[in-house]
Amino acid sequence: MSEPDDELVPDQAVLSAGAGKSFNNLPGVSVVQVAERCNGLVIGNEETQLFGVSPIDAAQSGTLSFFNGRSAERFVAEPQPTAVLVTAENAVHFQCVRIVVGDPYLAYAKVSKLFDPARVSTAVGIDKTAIVHPDVLLDDGVSIGPYSVVGSNCRIGKNTQLGSHVIIDANCEIGHGCRIGSRVTLRANTKVGSRCRLSSGVVIGACGFGYAPSKEGWQAIAQLGGVTLGDDVDIGANTTIDRGAINDTVIGNRVKLDNQIQIAHNVKVGDDTIMAGCVAIAGSTEIGAKCQLGGRASVLGHLKIADETILNAGAFVASSIEQSGTYSSMIPAQPVAKWRKTVAYLNRLGKLFRN
């Protein structure tokens, strides 16, 4: 994921859920391991063991925190974590082990995976309740969870993990090091790159929404393409990506999609683009590389969005965007009386221009 915008980073960000708790059956992580992951400089005992994370304003012993604010004096007198990711400027204000980095928030993003319970998995192999077609090719270290089904002519890469009740239709390919959550469905002819994470309920390759009008009613158009995901793609819970009508729907490398996003057939999403929850992209639209789409942004079909475009939350895009920049639409919520006046004024603009 690309480095977050500074405006989105609070001074004292709350760390991940389960903060301050040791994960069951997980070994500790040494400070030197953390420093190596984020290229930090350790001040203190490098062999100190860490067993979880905690927010800086509610720090607990045995945990790692990060401080991304401008002044740290008030934390000196408060309970401190065992170790903290901090800038050189603020390091002097902490008494615990300090890992000095240029950007504590970005450093935390890099090291957070060290504390993910999924980093230590003993569930290698096929659960006895899973159904796997005899011609499926499984590389070393693959795990397939309870009641999952893998169809014919599929290949699953090294160290990839499938949760429970996963459905993989025929002719699918999954790269190495992927994590496929429970109840994920990959329809036929889906290709998933390496190191991808698909959260629970994701559906990849569902039938695209294509119908031709006729006197007898709407005639369904067979959706004959597939979906291709690049490497290092993250997809949030219950997001749906439709398969192409003829060619594949394509999601580029390192794309990050939030929960409950709809991407229609034949869409192309460029590398390093990120989308927040409830974004909707209509069919055959091309989203450029390194774009950022805020929550509930909507883009109509057959459009092109330039690289590095930012669509703020709720933006509605009805024509192609050829010049990168930040785009907004929609009237923010306001008291109903004021909203009615605003809409009335907008409706009168045409008369003003005619004069």
Question: Domain with 38 in it: what CATH number?
Answer: 3.40.1390.10
Whether 176 is catalytic is no
In the block, tokens 């504390």 appear at: 115
Closest CA relative to residue 328, chosen from 312, 340, 344? 312
The answer as to whether 51 is a domain residue is yes
The answer as to whether 95 is a domain residue is yes
> In Å, how far are 29, 76, 119, 179, 217 from 22, measured between CA atoms?
11, 24, 14, 22, 60
The answer as to whether 54 is a domain residue is yes
The answer as to whether 80 is a domain residue is yes
Q: By the 8 A CB rule, do 242 and 260 touch? A: no
Q: By the 8 A CB rule, do 286 and 16 touch? A: no
In the block, tokens 């009805």 appear at: 318
CB atoms within 10 A of CB 114: 17
> What value does the CA radius of gyration of the chain take, rounded to a whole number of Å?
24
Q: Count Cα atoms within 13 angstroms, Cβ side, for 276.
A: 14
Collapsing DSSP states into helix, strand and coil, what is residue 183?
coil
**pLDDT tens series, the chain, 355 aa:** 333 333 223 333 333 333 334 444 567 899 999 999 999 999 999 889 998 898 888 888 889 999 987 666 666 667 788 999 999 998 888 889 999 999 999 999 999 888 877 665 556 789 999 999 999 999 999 999 999 999 999 999 999 999 999 999 999 999 999 999 999 999 999 999 999 999 999 999 999 999 999 999 999 999 999 999 999 999 999 999 999 999 999 999 999 999 999 999 999 999 999 999 999 999 999 999 999 999 999 999 999 999 999 999 999 999 999 999 999 998 888 899 998 998 898 888 888 876 5
Cα distance between residue 19 and residue 112, in whole Å? 11
The answer as to whether 31 is a domain residue is yes
The answer as to whether 59 is a domain residue is yes
The answer as to whether 254 is a domain residue is no
The answer as to whether 75 is a domain residue is yes
Domain total in the chain: 1
Domain with 15, as residue range(s), is 6-119
Contacts of 214 (CB under 8 A, 6+ apart): none
Q: By the 8 A CB rule, do 200 and 181 touch? A: yes
Q: Which of 165, 176, 265, 302 is catalytic?
A: 265
Cα distance between residue 8 and residue 2, in whole Å? 13
Amino acid at 183: R
pTM, two decimal places? 0.81
